[in-house]
C-alpha cells in the first residue's frame, strides 16, 4: 500500500512535502524519483503523487486528478467531549479519528474533575495525535482538535452552527435510532460528558439550545467510553460503517 501524506502545497497538478514528512519520505522510506505515494490536500480528496524531485527538506510530485476518499463519512460530525482527567482525552481523540469524527471540541462543565492547565501546549499534542491517527486510519482529512471551551454555556452557543445536535445524557432520552437516518449528510454535533456527568441545569440548557436529548442504553458508560459509543452508533445509523 502506498504511503500516505498530508500537504497544503497542492495545486495545478503539482504538490510538495516539506519538514518532517519530507524527511520521513526521503530519508526513512528512501523514496526514489518515480515512486508513488498517496497525497491528501485541504480539499479532502486523495491524489496519487509521483515523486519528481528530492532536495534537502523538500520532496516534489506530479499529481493526478483527485478522487473522493471512501474513508470520509457522509455525515460531518463534531464531538463535544467533557474534559476528562489523567490523559483519557488522548485515547478519545485517537479512536474517534479512526471512527470518522470531523472535529473534536473538549469543554469544561460543572462536574468536570479536570481543570484547565497549559491547554495551548496540550492542544499541539492533541492535534499531533489526530494527525497520526488520520494517517493510520487512511483518512483524507485530519480532524481538528479545538481549544477547550471554558463552560457548558459556550457549548450551547455553538450548537446553532449544526444541522442537528445530540445531547447524550445519563438520565436517558429518545432512541438514537429515531433521530438519524442512513445516508445522512448532515453536520452533526454529539455532546458527551466528563466523569461527573451533567447537571440537571446543563441538560435543560442543552435542550433549550435545540439539542435532542438521547440515551445510550440502560448502562452507565465511562466518560472515555461514551463518546466512542455515541460516535460508533452515529456512524452505523448514518450508513458509514458499511
Q: What is the CATH number of the domain that holds 209?
A: 3.40.1280.10
177 and 92 housed in the same domain:
yes
Choose one of 68, 94, 109: the last residue of a domain: 68
Choose one of 22, 49, 68: the last residue of a domain: 68
Choose one of 44, 68, 92: the last residue of a domain: 68
131 and 17 housed in the same domain:
no
**CATH number, domain containing residue 36:** 2.40.240.20
- Whether 8 is covered by a domain: the verdict is yes
- The number of folded domains in the chain is 2
80 and 137 housed in the same domain:
yes
* pLDDT averaged over 10-residue windows placed end to end, the chain, 242 residues: 86 93 93 94 91 95 92 94 93 97 97 91 96 94 96 97 95 89 85 94 97 92 95 94 86
- Whether 242 is covered by a domain: the verdict is no
Angstrom distance (rounded) from CA 207 to CA 213: 7
Q: What is the pLDDT of residues 119-134, one digit of tens each?
A: 999 999 999 999 999 9
Domain region containing 135: 76-237
40 and 61 housed in the same domain:
yes
CA dihedral 91, 159, 44, 101 (to 10 degrees): 20
The pLDDT value given to residue 73: 92
182 and 203 housed in the same domain:
yes
The pLDDT value given to residue 160: 95
The pLDDT value given to residue 3: 80
Q: Shortest CA distance to 239 belongs to which of 106, 29, 74? A: 74
Angstrom distance (rounded) from CA 128 to CA 30: 23
Amino acid at each position: 500500500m502506498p504511503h500516505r501524506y498530508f500537504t497544503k502545497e497542492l495545486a495545478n497538478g503539482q504538490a510538495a512535502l516539506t519538514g518532517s514528512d519530507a524527511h520521513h519520505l526521503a530519508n526513512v522510506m528512501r523514496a526514489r524519483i518515480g515512486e508513488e505515494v498517496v497525497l491528501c490536500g485541504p480539499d479532502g480528496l486523495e491524489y496519487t503523487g509521483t515523486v519528481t524531485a528530492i532536495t534537502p527538506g523538500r520532496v516534489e510530485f506530479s499529481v493526478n486528478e483527485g478522487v473522493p476518499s471512501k474513508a470520509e463519512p457522509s455525515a460531518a460530525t463534531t464531538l463535544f467531549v467533557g474534559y476528562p482527567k489523567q490523559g483519557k482525552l488522548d485515547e478519545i481523540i485517537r479512536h474517534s479519528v479512526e471512527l470518522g469524527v470531523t472535529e473534536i471540541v473538549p469543554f469544561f462543565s460543572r462536574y468536570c474533575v479536570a481543570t484547565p492547565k497549559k491547554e495551548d501546549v496540550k492542544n499541539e499534542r492533541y492535534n499531533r495525535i489526530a494527525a497520526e491517527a488520520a494517517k493510520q486510519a487512511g483518512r483524507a482529512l485530519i480532524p481538528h482538535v479545538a481549544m477547550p471551551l471554558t463552560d457548558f454555556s459556550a457549548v450551547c452557543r455553538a450548537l446553532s452552527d449544526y444541522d442537528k445536535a445530540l445531547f447524550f445524557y445519563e438520565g436517558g432520552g429518545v432512541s438514537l435510532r429515531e433521530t438519524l437516518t442512513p445516508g445522512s449528510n448532515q453536520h452533526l454535533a454529539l455532546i458527551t460528558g466528563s466523569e461527573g456527568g451533567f447537571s440537571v441545569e446543563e441538560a435543560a440548557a442543552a435542550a433549550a439550545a435545540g439539542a435532542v436529548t438521547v440515551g445510550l442504553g440502560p448502562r452507565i458508560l465511562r466518560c472515555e467510553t461514551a463518546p466512542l459509543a455515541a460516535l460508533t452508533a452515529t456512524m452505523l445509523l448514518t450508513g458509514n460503517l458499511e
